[in-house]
Structure 1
């Protein structure tokens, strides 16, 4: 969904909001020749990875919102599975596939994450 807004030259704070997603707040700078990204709260300028802001053309700003409760690290992945006592064999396979780069689970696990998930499955964690 696109929304057109007109801004004067200078620095502005822009906020994107959508149900089910974390708010995206960015600071942009508007000049006569285009828009530049100054900062993104908890995210990155010139990135399509949520939360992020891209500027694909001189006066177009695109915001990428992160889903609320999204998996961003090993601890949130474990929590999304119901906690360490709820890890199943399929979960160990999933994190192994993510480690190898076959699937995206919201973060890039390291070898220790894979082994720890295996320990949780075996009841050792």
Structure 2
């Protein structure tokens, strides 16, 4: 699984895609609230089904983002530990710290530099 191109790309790109998707869902939630503001003013109360129905999607994206980011962190830490190129150059600690402190971007940079970059240099 660690050497699968699909899983490497999935765990590098998905946390960032889901993060931006989270903001899209958040803005759709806010838009749905503001688009029904006239109904709120006319009735004098706020429809709880509208609020709670949309909050479920909001929290679902939060949980999805956390799970995918945590899975990506574990996947790439294990990949870096098993990467023999990092042991030779003593870059293992640098990459692991980058994964921990700059979570989604760190995995994307590692995937581009250490996996895709080295794969292209081996084929040429």
TM-score by length of 1: 0.25
Structure richer in helix, relative to its length = 2
Q: Return the structure number with greater relative CO, CA threshold 8 A, min gap 6.
A: 2
Larger Rg: 2
TM-score by length of 2: 0.25
Structure richer in strand, relative to its length = 1
